[in-house]
Amino acid sequence: MADVSDTPPSKEGTPVLPPKETPDLPPKETPDLPQDAGKSDEKAEGGSEAASDPSMYRYIKNDLFTSEIFKVEIRNLPKFIGFNDLKKFLSKHGLNPHKIKLFGKQTFAFVTFKNEEERDKAMKMVHGVQWKGQVLSVRLAKPKADPILRKRRQDEGEGAGGQPPSKRAEGKEEEEEEALSVQIANVVTPLWNVPYEEQLKRKEQQVVGVLQTLAKEIGSTNKAMLPWLFAQKGKYNRMCCPLEAIRPSPTLTEYRNKCEFLISMGANGEDKTIGFRLGKYKGGSCAVVGPADTSHVSAEAKRVVSQFQKFIRTTAYSMYSPETYEGHWKQLTVRTTRTKQAMAVAFFNPQKLEEEEITALKSSMRDYFTDGEGKDSGVTSLYFVREGQRTSPNLEDLPCELVSGESSIHEELLGLKFRISPHSFFQVNTGAAEVLYSAVGEWAQLDQDSTVLDVCCGTGTIGISLAKRVKKVIGIEMCQEAVEDAKVNAKLNGLSNVEFHCGKAEDVFPNILNALVSPNITAIVDPPRAGLHSKVVLAIRRAEHLKRLVYVACNAKAAMNNFIDLCRAPSNRVHGAPFRPVRAMAVDLFPQTMHVEMLLLLERVDYTSQQQPATAPRKKRHLSRRKQALSLTLCTLYQYSEQPGNIHFNSLCEADSS
Ligand SMILES: C[S@@+](CC[C@H](N)C(=O)[O-])C[C@H]1O[C@@H](n2cnc3c(N)ncnc32)[C@H](O)[C@@H]1O
């Protein structure tokens, strides 16, 4: 589904994401157990009914990118391997898979690649290779069936006659349907009828759960922290650190500055409707409902949608159908600012149209929004994207053609100015982002000697908002356009102590960190939903001069592995003293939905010596073997400094041996 806004969208900084469920981009595969777990691929994923119906594979015959074409099945895998094990194994053989799908405890996996060359290389490199005593075999695998067609077929089989565009109240076939405005509110703003205080409580509770889990995880991955952890859990309701009161969003409605709408058949039967999808593509529904009654979309964005809908209805071009892959109009992304600017990005599949026809369409679009009926829509920046031209998985490869107006929009935040280009990430709730960034600034404990590393910096918002308080800001970001924005933003705000580097954090961050000699470094990381690449976490762990880390997580559960790795005991893989969580807080950027941002401050454990206390070995002789083992573990790992909340390590050993 496109950004229906029940997600903290585009955390990846890819505002032009096309709908996830369209067959040209099959749903992201995770190591989770899929429904069809256990079935081998004799007939292709999706079951036998799919295999007998060639229409279910129509999507791979288009010119679009889909890694489903470059898919293999690896068999005879060792038992109990996980997603990461397989990923590492493939990477060790120089392979870079696009997707990996494992099936619980089964010994086979489906792996897709970005092109034929990589797929063939995988077949050559992996076939016959021995891994943990198992000789692997690799063979070509058929693609997955189009989920919507599969669902339709299933429904037909069940006699349901296909899924109706809108949902009926469960078990009450005869009763009237719920109003579409209620149905769509339930999808995009599922908490719309829950009082805000209650929403905040639920979100806070989510974060409590995360911190309690983290406490358990730290306990099992860093035994030396047990005494400290024991005290923390006792004080803070089984959490690893105190949780401060959740900070609410300053605005509860119309707070979104960016929405991604789909263009499809309206659930009310109206053709070429721009709105949010009512159900999931794989649930068998493509119908959309306009945003007019949706509480989190701004009036400005609604105006743009309404004008754009009028415009596309005047054109001869139909809406794009993800079922038949025919048609043209696909998606509209709208961004608005407090400065009353608006960017509209229209996604259009050119199919086999001639270049002249596209040029004529773009010019009629320009006329409509500059001199025609759309003149008062507020659009200051109008873009056109040829969606069907995507031949690579990189969304940034989709060129945005400026049709009229400015190439970017400008937002004001914390009294500063920010340029935003179409591909650049910007927090979707500007008011709440101010609350978030202010908290980051408070927690980072900065002074004029500080160097701030702003990792995954987008347009530079966090670093730029802190720059006047510190000696230097270094931002790292992989989206080229966002980095260009960030550089311009530094100038716009008269700053000369900031620099921005373009690249994946996992590639550039370790070198930047190693080159820094300043003893006063604070890192602020604000990664996409999946969290930081483990290389970044390992680099942070190694850089012992980096003492403080503020982690901004839009999906705290997904960031859990990062938190654990930051806190786990040193090992062959993880070098450098661990961090420990010091304080946490939730900030609500997404009212009416269950999503929330979490802020976690972590500080490096300060231990001065790893030597065993001189008295310990002698005393150990009198201990039981179990106690000896525990005592040794504790003694040889760290000696905590005597800070509030720490138990001094010597006294722990003595207590244990008495
Ligand atoms: C959640 S946004 C945060 C942006 C910024 N801190 C802000 O508040 O506006 C995450 C950013 O990380 C960038 N990103 C995603 N993966 C990355 C990677 N591997 N290395 C560097 N940046 C990455 C995205 O382009 C996006 O701009």
Expressed in percent and rounded to 5, the helix, strand and coil fractions of the chain are 35, 20, 45
Q: How confident is the model at residue 18 (pLDDT cuts 50, 70, 90)?
A: very low
421-456 pLDDT, tens digit per residue, is 999 999 999 999 999 999 999 999 999 999 999 999
Q: What is the CATH number of the domain that holds 330?
A: 2.40.50.1070
What pLDDT is stored for residue 599 in this prediction?
Answer: 98
Tell the residue nearest (CA) to atom 25 of ligand 1. Answer: 13
The pLDDT of residue 38: 31
How many whole angstroms from 11 Cα to the centroid of ligand 1? 7
pLDDT of residue 221: 97
Instruction: Check residue 200 and give its pLDDT.
Output: 98
Q: Give every strand in the sheet of 400-405, ordered side by side.
A: 288-289, 273-277, 258-264, 329-336, 342-348, 381-386, 400-405
- The full DSSP string for 526-562 is ---TT---HHHHHHHHH-TTEEEEEEEESSTTTTHHH
Pocket lining: 425 vs ligand 1, CB cutoff 6 Å: yes
- The answer to whether the annotation marks 116 as part of a ligand binding site is no
Which position has the token pair 């709408």?
Answer: 261
pLDDT band at 124 (very low <50, low <70, confident <90, very high): confident
Q: Is 385 helix (H, G, I), strand (E, B) or coil?
A: strand
Q: Domain range holding 440?
A: 413-604
Contact 567, 638 (CB under 8 A): no
Give the residue, by CA position, lying nearest to ligand 1 atom 18.
Answer: 504
Ligand 1 centre to CA of 478 (Å) is 7
What would the two tokens of residue 453 be?
């590393």
Output the pLDDT for position 342.
98
194 within some domain? no
The pick from 414, 416, 478, 502 for probing ligand 1's pocket by mutation, whose C-beta has the most ligand atoms within 8 angstroms, reads: 478
| Same domain? 311 vs 426 | no
Q: Give residue 457 CA to ligand 1 midpoint distance, Å.
A: 6
Residue 179: pLDDT band (50, 70, 90) is confident
Under the banding of pLDDT at 50, 70 and 90, the label for residue 324 is: confident
Q: Which residue has the higher pLDDT, 641 or 241?
A: 241
Name the pTM for this structure. Answer: 0.74
User: Last residue of some domain: 381, 407, 433?
Assistant: 407
* Residue 554 is a catalytic residue: yes
Among candidate residues 356, 377, 407, the one where a domain is terminated? 407
Position 395 scores a pLDDT of 60
pLDDT number for residue 299? 97
Q: Which of 106, 127, 145 is the last residue of a domain?
A: 145
Q: What is the pLDDT of residue 632?
A: 38
Closest CA to 15 of 522, 383, 507: 383
Strands 416-420 and 409-413: antiparallel
Q: Are 2 and 19 in contact (CB under 8 A)?
A: yes
For the chain, what is the domain count?
Answer: 4
Q: Whole-number mean pLDDT of the chain? A: 82
- As a whole number of Å, the end-to-end CA separation of the chain is 62
pLDDT classification of 320: cutoffs 50, 70, 90 = very high
Q: Is residue 610 part of a domain?
A: no
* Structure token digits, residue 579: 């961090």
Ligand-binding annotation for 146, yes or no, is no
Confidence class for position 651, pLDDT limits 50, 70, 90: very low
Residue 11 pLDDT: 42
> What pLDDT sits at residue 322?
83
Q: Determine if ligand 1 sits within 6 Å of the CB of residue 478.
A: yes
Is 53 within a domain?
yes
**318 pLDDT more than 80:** yes
pLDDT digits (tens, 9 = 90+) for 242-261: 999 999 999 999 999 999 99
Answer whether residue 115 shows pLDDT above 60: yes
* Residue 354 shares a structural domain with residue 423: no
The Cα 367–Cα 404 span in angstroms is 9
Q: Is the CB of 90 under 6 A from ligand 1?
A: no
Binding site membership of 528 for ligand 1 (Cβ less than 6 Å): yes
Pair (300, 382) in one structural domain: yes
More confident residue, 173 or 264: 264
Reduced to 3 states (helix: H, G, I; strand: E, B; else coil), residue 124 is helix
Average pLDDT over residues 566-595: 97
175 belongs to a structural domain? no
Q: Evaluate whether residue 302 is within a structural domain.
A: yes
Ligand 1 pocket, residue 427 CB under 6 Å: yes
Domain match, 600 and 623 both: no
106 DSSP assignment: -
Say if residues 492 and 471 touch (Cβ distance below 8 Å).
no
Q: Which of 554, 567, 635, 653 is catalytic?
A: 554
Name the band, by pLDDT with cuts 50, 70 and 90, for residue 116: confident
Which of 425, 438, 489, 562 has most ligand 1 atoms within 8 Å of CB, for mutation?
Answer: 425
Q: What are phi and psi of 642, to 5 degrees?
A: -85, 80
Specify whether 417 is located in the same domain as 341.
no
User: What are the tokens at 393?
Assistant: 């998985």
Return the minimum-mean-pLDDT range out of 359-363, 385-389, 465-469, 488-492: 385-389
Looking at the fold, whether 134 and 242 belong to one and the same domain comes out as no
505 pocket-lining for ligand 1 (C-beta < 6 Å): yes
Q: Are 548 and 603 in contact (CB under 8 A)?
A: yes
**C-alpha 423 to ligand 1 mean position (Å):** 11
Pairwise CA distance, residues 98 & 443, whole Å = 38
Residues 377 and 500 in one domain: no
Same domain, 490 and 588: yes
Ligand 1 within 6 A of 12 CB?
Answer: yes
Contact 600, 436 (CB under 8 A): no
307 is in an annotated binding site: no
Domain assignment of residue 156, yes or no: no
**CATH number of the domain encompassing residue 449:** 3.40.50.150
Residues 6+ apart with CB under 8 A from 202: 191, 194, 594
Residue 519: inside a domain: yes
Residue 220 lies in a domain: yes
Return the CATH number at 130. Answer: 3.30.70.330
Which of 33, 36, 119, 35 shows the shortest CA–CA distance to 73? 119
Q: Say yes or no: 451 and 568 in one domain.
A: yes
Q: Is the minimum distance from the CB of 411 to ligand 1 under 6 angstroms?
A: no
Both 52 and 125 in one domain: the answer is yes
Of 60-74, 409-423, 551-565, minimum mean pLDDT range: 60-74
122 and 220 co-located in one domain: no
- Lowest-confidence segment of 105-114, 270-279, 299-308 by average pLDDT: 105-114
The reply to whether 245 and 264 lie within a common domain is no
pLDDT higher at 201 or 166: 201
Q: Is 342 exposed, middle or buried (0-12, 13-18, 19+ CB in 10 A)?
A: buried
Which residues, in sequence order, are bridge partners of residue 8? none
- Please identify, by atom number, the ligand 1 atom nearest to the C-alpha of residue 12: 24
In this prediction, what percent of the chain has a pLDDT beyond 70?
Answer: 75
Name the band, by pLDDT with cuts 50, 70 and 90, for residue 180. Answer: confident
Cα 227 to Cα 648: distance, rounded to the nearest angstrom? 9
8 Å CB contact between 657 and 622: yes
Residues 465-477 have a mean pLDDT of 98
